[in-house]
Amino acid sequence: MNDRAETTPNEKSTRPLVTPGAAGVESHNRNPKWRAGIAVALLFIAVPLVAWSCSSGSKPETAKSVDEHGDEGGEHAEAEGSEVKLSPESLLAAKLEIEAVTERSAVAPLRATGAVEPNAEKTQQVTPLVSGRVERVNAAVGDYVKAGSTLAVISSPDVAEMAGKLREAETRLTLAKRNVERVRRAENRAGVLSAKARLDEAEAGLRRTRRLVDLGVGAGKDLIAAETSYTTAKAEYDYQSNIAVNREVQEAQAEVETATTEVGHLRESIRSLGGGEGSNISQVTLRAPNSGRVTERLVNVGAGVAAGSPMFTIGDLSSMWVIARVPESQVGLLRTGSPAEVQTPEPGAAPISGRVNYIDPSLDEATRTARVRVEVPNPGERLKAGMFVQVDFQGAAGSGAPAERELVVPASAVQRIGERTVVFVPVEDEEGAFAVRDIDVGGEINGYRRVLAGLEVGEKVVANGSFTLKTQLMKGEMGEHGH
């Protein structure tokens, strides 16, 4: 029997209905090649779906990253804010120096080279007024001396001779004073005594004659004669007492005054020559006429010197002259009183301000330059005679019109942070806080930068130490980026 042909009614009722299409599919399903093609198709469909799901799934993370970077950008902007703060310890260690924004002439300076010379108006040669031999020298080249201090001592024969004349005059003065005393003593005047005796005798005769006349035994002519004798004696006595004595006294007093004048004159002469007193009156003391530094010494102990010969040169170095050589094409731009700045060869040294006080009317025919003299202060004796310096004449203008002004700050105050040019301005009433101020700057001249915008005259900025604030600012920015 054929098992495949045998079916029961129940089996027939439960067999699925197969359509021609379904039958075709079923027949394809039974084909291995068909199944492989379907798998490949499904693979091509699944790969894009997986990629799409991954990309869509990563979008929120990316958005989050962008948001985080956006937040970081906001923090970075805050780090680039306008203030830097230092703790009290850091502020003390930084040793910041604050300077004000200043204003100066905006005219480009006329630059020339110059040489330093001593100020001739404050330089003096010390010379003796008498000849003699040098006994002692108290000053050497380079010593600083004060006005009136002893430089040298000279033994002078001229002063010794004057001292002898002074002794003679003092003796005459003593004798004249004694003569006056003698003349004024009445007991030594014989003429007065004789006149006084005659006066007494005439007075006694007059009294006797009057008594006789009163008694009636004397004649009138005797009374007249007695009165005449008395009058004559009285006149003689008055003459001797008032005229002769006074003349003698006046002559004695005149001698005293003459001797006194002579003594005073000799003493003053010796004093003006520098003579001493007492036993050393013949020694002349040479003193410093002004305070300053000894720049030249021409004598030693034992040397003979003549009157008027120089022995020392003393210069007051508190101010110096700078002689600049200005070309003839530019000397017409300068005027007496024009400001100037002198720059020394010392590295980093600040310029020294001065003014033109003389312009030579003649030119050097070889170099075609004019000598322009600038007087400058010399604090700490920075300028030395013979030193070569650079001179910048500020505000050199021929019209005499006031020059345009510009703001400047120390070059050390200006810092670069990326593309920014900034300075640090102290915050008022907040110690250790400094505002970061963006500015526009121009060129640099003599250690100062021109300020084109961003600051006003008188504002305070950090000069020395601004780099420390810049470093602190950049550390803060780097820390925020790392976070």
Tell me the CATH number at 138: 2.40.50.100
Do residues 442 and 348 both lie within one domain?
Answer: no
Residue 7: inside a domain: no
Q: Which domain holds residue 211?
A: 158-272
**Alpha-carbon gap, residue 321 to 437, rounded angstroms:** 41
pLDDT of residue 106: 61
Do residues 370 and 469 both lie within one domain?
Answer: no
Residues β-bridged to residue 313: 125, 296
Sheet holding 102-105, edge to edge: 102-105, 405-410, 448-453, 440-445
Residue 201: inside a domain: yes
Number of domains in the chain: 4
Which amino acid, one-letter code, is at 186? A
Do residues 114 and 146 both lie within one domain?
Answer: no
Do residues 233 and 299 both lie within one domain?
Answer: no
Average pLDDT by consecutive 10-residue portion of the chain (483 residues)? 40 39 42 51 52 42 36 36 77 83 72 92 90 92 92 86 82 85 63 77 84 77 84 79 66 84 84 68 85 92 90 93 91 88 85 92 91 92 92 63 73 87 87 87 77 89 85 68 49
Do residues 164 and 209 both lie within one domain?
Answer: yes
Residue 230: inside a domain: yes
Residue 330: inside a domain: yes
Q: Are 391 and 114 in contact (CB under 8 A)?
A: yes
Listed residues 380, 403, 426: the one ending a domain: 403
pLDDT of residue 396: 53
Listed residues 403, 429, 464: the one ending a domain: 403
- Torsion sign over Cα 467, 469, 475, 478: negative
Do residues 165 and 261 both lie within one domain?
Answer: yes
CATH of the domain at 456: 2.40.420.20
- Closest by Cα among 299, 302, 276 to 127: 299
Which amino acid, one-letter code, is at 444? E
Do residues 167 and 267 both lie within one domain?
Answer: yes
CATH of the domain at 114: 2.40.30.170
Helix (H), strand (E), coil (C) string for the chain: CCCCCCCCHHHHHHCCCCCHHHHHHHHHHCCHHHHHHHHHHHHHHHHHHHHHHHHHHHHHHHHHHHHHHHHHHHHHHHHCCCEEECCHHHHHHHCCCEEECEEEECCCCEEEEEEEEECHHHEEEECCCCCEEEEEECCCCCCEECCCCEEEEEECHHHHHHHHHHHHHHHHHHHHHHHHHHHHCHHHCHHHHHHHHHHHHHHHHHHHHHHHHHHCCCCHHHHHHHHHHHHHHHHHHHHHHHHHHHHHHHHHHHHHHHHHHHHHHHHHHHHHCCECCHHHCCEEEEECCCCEEEEEECCCCCCEECCCCCCEEEECCCEEEEEEEEECCCHHHCCCCCEEEEECCCCCCCCEEEEEEEEEEEEECCCCEEEEEEEEECHHHCCCCCCEEEEEECCCCCCCCCCCEEEEEEHHHCEEECCEEEEEEECCCCCCEEEEEECEEEEEECCEEEEEECCCCCCEEECCCHHHHHHHHHHHHHHHHHC
Do residues 147 and 294 both lie within one domain?
Answer: yes
- Torsion sign over Cα 177, 178, 181, 183: negative
Do residues 431 and 381 both lie within one domain?
Answer: no
Listed in sequence order, the residues at least 6 apart from 301 whose beta carbon sits closer than 8 Å to its beta carbon are 134, 135, 136, 137
Q: Kindly provide the b/e burial profile for residues 173-187, where b requires at least 16 CB atoms within 10 angstroms of the residue's own CB.
A: beebeebbeebeeee
Residue 379: inside a domain: yes
Residue 47: inside a domain: no
82 phi and psi angles, rounded to 5 deg:
-110, 30
Do residues 148 and 173 both lie within one domain?
Answer: no
Q: What six digits make up the tokens of 427?
A: 């915050």
Q: Which residue has the tokens 């000799």?
A: 266
Residue 175: inside a domain: yes
Q: Are 372 and 318 in contact (CB under 8 A)?
A: no
Q: Which residue has the tokens 């004449």?
A: 393
Residue 282: inside a domain: no
Do residues 324 and 393 both lie within one domain?
Answer: yes
Do residues 302 and 384 both lie within one domain?
Answer: no
Listed residues 345, 376, 403: the one ending a domain: 403
